[in-house]
Amino acid sequence: MVIASVVTEEVEDLRLVLEKPSLSLPHATSSNGKTVPIQHGKDSNVDFGAEVYGIDLNNFTDADFDFIHDALHRHKLLVFKQQPEMLSPQQQYKLTSSFDPDETTGGFAHGVDPFLTSHKGVNIYGIPKRPAIPVQPQVHILGRGALPENHYSFPPDFEVQGIDHEEFHLPPHISAEEREKGASRFYQWHFDGSLYNIPPPRVGCLLAVRTPKGPDVTVRWDDGTGTEMKIAPGATAMVAGSRALALLDDETRNLVMNSRIEYAPHAFVWMSTAHSTRLGHLIETEGLEKPLDQLPKWDKEKVAIYPMVWTNPVTGEKSLQVHGQGAFKLHLKDSPDGEEKIVDDLREVRAFMHKLMRPTLSPENIYAHRHEEQDVILWYNRALWHSITEFPKSYGPRVMHQCNVAASDHPVG
């Protein structure tokens, strides 16, 4: 998951990262995989997600992967239950990369990680909020708190620095006292991707190593509506782009079907000096973005201009896939052959993005996944939006292994 205020500079050429290892899978003629759709309750409009049984991800076969590939595109989120052991970083990378056999670099979706520290002769790369696992550097550790003992060459006192809305959201913030009692926020609604040069991953993958222990927290919208939602501590919140598209009025839906978004060059560096809305879906228009001439070197040809609506290649379903915080310009058309209108005033851009995103960001449309240790979740990154959520420090550490790999292609409508 993207952490906006701490993202490192993207590299110009992912071939600088490493060669992609072999992804050959053991052969089998059939799979024992079984999916059970997640039941979301009578008050929910969520229509995605399934639990998967019968597949050991540390030993999955080509037949298992065929089953997983089809199930993921149909359910958009898979939760792998009853895993005999923790998923290894090597197998997590193999699972994630198998969705894109044409991708040749094996590169992390945000480029090369900087050097972080070393321990007993092993170099560790990344940033304090997203260190890479040395044995498989495309797999990063997210969360907050101390790692388990002897965890993949990390020093014994190493702690992952968690995200904190006080570093990014528009004040006023939730007080420390309220947060310790369970008040929470969505940190950033997004799909994974650098939004510049590097194609966004097709899938995302999370392994729950350690989960916070405590009562459910109350997520607050803090946008003047008084909206709140009870969720599990440390849950990953998700909404479907298909639901977001369906909630638009006919005129707006027709417009987005033919329109594109231009994202800021080095978007996460650009927004790092600004404030997010308290709901985590947009940047506040205060003129605090880093000026373009102060960004790392960038090439106009590598600026990402993506369709607003992306198509599931297996089901044909259309999803509104937008990153409101990174949006820089709008390329609006009301028909395939219509005249394109460019909107470059950030206040207008963000008002339009709010119109697109806010309707689906309501409790009845959100699935907040309760992570259980040793479970693995896999989601189709080109059909869902997601957000990290906060929880009290007294609940203990949250340690997640995340893998997302740059794709071989940019999304098309």
Q: State the DSSP string of 206-244.
A: EEEEE---SSPEEEE--SSS--EEEE-TTPEEEEEHHHH
pLDDT band at 109 (very low <50, low <70, confident <90, very high): low
Q: Is residue 337 part of a domain?
A: yes
Taking residues 404-411, report their average pLDDT. 92
- The total domain count for the chain is 1
pLDDT > 50? residue 5: no
| HEC readout, 122-167 | EEEEEECCEEEECCEEEEEEEEEEECCCCCCCCCCCCEECCCCHHH
d(CA 74, CA 316): 10
Q: Residue 258 has which token pair?
A: 């033919």
d(CA 217, CA 240): 22
C-beta separation of 157 from 165 below 8 A: no
d(CA 253, CA 273): 32
How high is the pLDDT of residue 412? 84
pLDDT band at 400 (very low <50, low <70, confident <90, very high): very high
Geometric angle at alpha carbon 226, from 223 and 232, rounded to 5°: 95
Nearest to 256 by CA among 147, 331, 163, 145: 331
Q: Is residue 22 part of a domain?
A: no
pLDDT > 70? residue 17: no
pLDDT > 90? residue 15: no
pLDDT band at 61 (very low <50, low <70, confident <90, very high): very high
Burial of 387 (0-12, 13-18, 19+ CB in 10 A): buried
How high is the pLDDT of residue 281? 98
- pLDDT, mean over the chain: 93
Q: What is the pLDDT of residues 193-234, one digit of tens each?
A: 999 999 999 999 999 999 999 999 999 999 999 999 999 999
Element housing 268 (H / E): helix 267-270
Q: What is the pLDDT of residues 349-387, one digit of tens each?
A: 999 999 999 999 999 999 999 999 999 999 999 999 999
pLDDT > 50? residue 7: no
C-beta separation of 209 from 86 below 8 A: yes
Q: Is residue 293 part of a domain?
A: yes
How high is the pLDDT of residue 22? 59
Taking residues 55-65, report their average pLDDT. 98
Taking residues 321-343, report their average pLDDT. 97
Q: Is residue 338 part of a domain?
A: yes
pLDDT > 90? residue 255: yes
Boundaries of domain holding 338:
242-360
Q: Is residue 210 part of a domain?
A: no
Burial of 275 (0-12, 13-18, 19+ CB in 10 A): middle
Cis before 172? omega within 30 = yes
Taking residues 12-33, report their average pLDDT. 70
How high is the pLDDT of residue 106? 63
pLDDT > 60? residue 16: no
Question: Torsion angle of alpha carbons 94, 99, 105, 109, nearest 10°?
Answer: -90
pLDDT > 60? residue 388: yes
Q: What is the pLDDT of residues 266-319, one digit of tens each?
A: 999 999 999 999 999 999 999 999 999 999 999 999 999 999 999 999 999 999
The fraction of the chain above a pLDDT of 90, given in percent, is 90
Q: Is residue 162 part of a domain?
A: no
Q: What is the pLDDT of residues 66-103, one digit of tens each?
A: 999 999 999 999 999 999 999 999 999 999 999 999 88
How high is the pLDDT of residue 54? 98
Q: Is residue 67 part of a domain?
A: no
Taking residues 324-333, report their average pLDDT. 98
Distances (CA, A) of 153 to 113, 128, 316: 17, 15, 44
Q: Which is it for strands 136-146 and 122-127: parallel, antiparallel or unpaired?
A: unpaired
Q: Is residue 184 part of a domain?
A: no
